């Protein structure tokens, strides 16, 4: 069963994130970028705020957003947005911030330990998959 409402919001947020990244890379100040994105897609800042939180995006508005963001018609409805474009959740953002702080505060030995820990756990996660594929078929 398609979840168009969820897909449209998620994909609109992907477009918003791209807009923010491009604007910041161009040297624009972060303040006011939400309003600038709303202007780009020709809606009010208030409506954009509602969309980010809960307001569904109808068919007409979905096509309007796609048009103004140079995406093909129907792109906003896609449920197969690549994982690399998926937005991190708040818990992931907090973890990344904590990891960054730990890295920056660590000396060389601490950085090696953090890096080693991450590599070890990444390998452990892959190990069951490798073991399953290496096991002979019954």
Query: Are 14 and 68 members of one domain?
Result: yes
Query: Are 46 and 14 members of one domain?
Result: yes
- Domain count of the chain? 2
Q: Give the model's pLDDT for residue 131.
A: 47
Q: How confident is the model at residue 40 (pLDDT cuts 50, 70, 90)?
A: very high
Tokens (6 digits) for 69: 């963001």
> What's the domain range around 62?
4-85
- Greatest Cα pair distance, the chain, in angstroms, is 62
Give mean pLDDT, residues 36-65: 95
Tokens (6 digits) for 49: 């705020």
Query: Are 72 and 122 members of one domain?
Result: no
Query: Are 63 and 94 members of one domain?
Result: no
10 Å Cβ neighbour count for 127? 10
Query: Are 63 and 125 members of one domain?
Result: no
The model's pTM is 0.59
């Amino acid at each position: 069963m398609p979840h168009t409402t969820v897909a449209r919001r998620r994909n609109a947020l992907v477009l918003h994130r791209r807009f923010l990244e491009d604007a910041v890379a161009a040297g624009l100040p972060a303040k006011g970028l939400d309003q600038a994105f709303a202007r780009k897609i020709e809606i009010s800042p208030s409506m954009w705020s509602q969309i980010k939180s809960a307001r569904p995006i109808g068919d007409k508005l979905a096509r309007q957003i796609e048009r103004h963001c140079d995406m093909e018609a129907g792109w906003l409805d896609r449920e197969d947005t690549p994982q690399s474009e998926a937005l991190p959740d708040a818990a992931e953002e907090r973890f990344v911030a904590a990891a960054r702080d730990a890295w920056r505060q660590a000396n060389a030995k601490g950085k090696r330990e953090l890096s080693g820990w991450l590599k070890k756990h990444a390998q452990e996660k892959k190990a069951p998959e490798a073991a399953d594929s290496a096991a002979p078929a019954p």
